[in-house]
């Protein structure tokens, strides 16, 4: 006697496999969401520069932490935010981009007409002053369109100050190799070639001898010619 053999529909056997597949997809989606960059954290700098750095790093938000490259983010910050001298960037698996910033130090105020910009010791333009705390004493006049010359001048500045024995307060560009230096201590104005700081020492010696011998103040010294110092006495007893 042959009985009736009943077979369960095949789809019943597929249910466990479908359940596993759906679970795997859900798990994969959860992992992908968990490994996304969710926020950025910037330290070592205050606003508004911090905001500029955050805006650059925000491009990584929503990307996978496994594909985001910290070095690429660092390069972007260095390129796009002039104030940043260095940035230590890391990306954690919990979705946070950490960035520790080291700022450039403003060295001088670059005066261009009515506009003033801050520059660092290499002559790089940092931006407009952000409060009195960012205002250096040194002013550069006429160097806005000559970045290479201002870089050369700032590199030579320590030697110029050492040779004269005083701090420079103001430098005006007179030509490609000629500048007028004004020192914190006051007159005279010293016309010099920044590439020859040793000549300022000769000028200082001449000024000291002049002051001891003559009652008339010196308005200007020109130390551009080797072995010679041109002296321009002040007129009408005044100085400039």
Q: What is the C-alpha to C-alpha distance for residues 81 and 121, in angstroms, rounded to an integer?
A: 17
Residue 238: CB atoms within 10 Å: 9
Whether the pLDDT of residue 189 is over 60: the answer is yes
Bridging pattern class, strands 218-222 and 186-192:
parallel
Q: What is the C-alpha to C-alpha distance for residues 58 and 52, in angstroms, rounded to an integer?
A: 10
List % helix, strand, coil for the chain (3-state, nearest 5): 35, 30, 35
* Residue appearing with tokens 């330290």: 43
Render pLDDT for 76-118 as a digit per residue (tens, 0 to 9): 999 999 999 999 999 998 999 999 999 999 999 999 888 899 9
201 or 23, which is more confident? 201
pLDDT for the residue 5 = 54
Helix (H) or strand (E) holding 195: none
pLDDT for the residue 187 = 84
Please give the mean pLDDT across all residues of the chain: 87
Whether the pLDDT of residue 4 is over 90: the answer is no
| SS3 (DSSP) at 234 | coil
Q: Taking the complete model, does pTM exceed 0.85, yes or no? A: no
Whether the pLDDT of residue 63 is over 60: the answer is yes
Q: Provide the token pair at 96.
A: 């946070």
pLDDT for the residue 238 = 44
Render pLDDT for 17-58 as a digit per residue (tens, 0 to 9): 555 544 444 444 444 456 899 999 999 998 889 999 999 999
């Amino acid at each position: 006697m042959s009985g009736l053999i009943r077979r369960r529909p095949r789809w019943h056997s597929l249910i466990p496999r479908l359940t596993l597949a759906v679970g795997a997809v859900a798990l994969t989606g959860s992992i992908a969401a968990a490994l996304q960059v969710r926020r950025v954290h910037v330290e070592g700098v205050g606003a508004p520069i911090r905001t500029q750095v955050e805006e650059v790093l925000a491009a990584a938000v929503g990307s996978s932490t496994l594909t985001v490259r910290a070095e690429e983010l660092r390069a972007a910050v260095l390129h796009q935010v002039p104030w940043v001298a260095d940035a230590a960037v890391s990306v954690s698996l919990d979705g946070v981009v950490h960035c520790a910033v080291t700022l450039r130090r403003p060295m001088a105020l670059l005066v261009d007409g009515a506009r003033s910009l801050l520059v660092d010791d290499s002559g790089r333009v940092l931006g407009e002053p952000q409060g009195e705390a960012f205002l250096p004493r040194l002013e550069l006049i006429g160097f806005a369109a000559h970045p290479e010359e201002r870089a050369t001048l700032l590199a030579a500045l320590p030697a110029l100050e050492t040779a004269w024995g005083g701090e420079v307060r103001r430098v005006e560009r007179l030509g490609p190799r000629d500048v007028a230096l004004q020192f914190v201590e006051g007159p005279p104005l010293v016309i010099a070639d920044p590439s020859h700081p040793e000549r300022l020492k000769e000028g200082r010696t001449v000024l000291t001898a002049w002051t001891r011998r003559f009652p008339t103040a010196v308005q200007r010294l020109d130390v551009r010619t080797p072995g010679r110092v041109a002296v321009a006495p002040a007129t009408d007893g005044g100085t400039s």
